[in-house]
Amino acid sequence: MYQVITLGIILLLIGVLAGIPIMTTIGTILLVIGVVLLIAGRIGNGIGGRAHYF
């Protein structure tokens, strides 16, 4: 899950610095998904049929 957050941040920064809107959008989406999975995993909810999301 940290990989998804890291990739989201990298794509977001590249998109903002290079002025590529699609990379900014994809980076934002990946960042939000990563944070949601992180929070859901931390509070103990099963994700995708798994007890833990790694």
pLDDT reported for residue 51: 59
Please check whether residue 47 lies inside any domain of the structure. no
pLDDT reported for residue 38: 86
Please check whether residue 53 lies inside any domain of the structure. no
Please check whether residue 21 lies inside any domain of the structure. yes
Sign for the CA dihedral angle at 48, 51, 53, 54 comes to: negative
pLDDT reported for residue 41: 78
The amino acid occupying position 36 is V
The one-character DSSP state at 51 is S
The amino acid occupying position 33 is I
Report helix, strand and coil shares of the chain as percent, to nearest 5.
70, 5, 25
Please check whether residue 50 lies inside any domain of the structure. no
Please check whether residue 54 lies inside any domain of the structure. no
pLDDT reported for residue 46: 64
User: Cβ distance 30 to 4 under 8 Å?
Assistant: yes
The amino acid occupying position 19 is G
**Count of the separate structural domains present in the chain:** 1
Provide the residue range defining the domain that includes 24. Answer: 2-42
pLDDT tens for residues 15-49? 999 999 999 999 999 999 999 888 887 877 666 66
Q: How confident is the model at residue 52 (pLDDT cuts 50, 70, 90)?
A: low
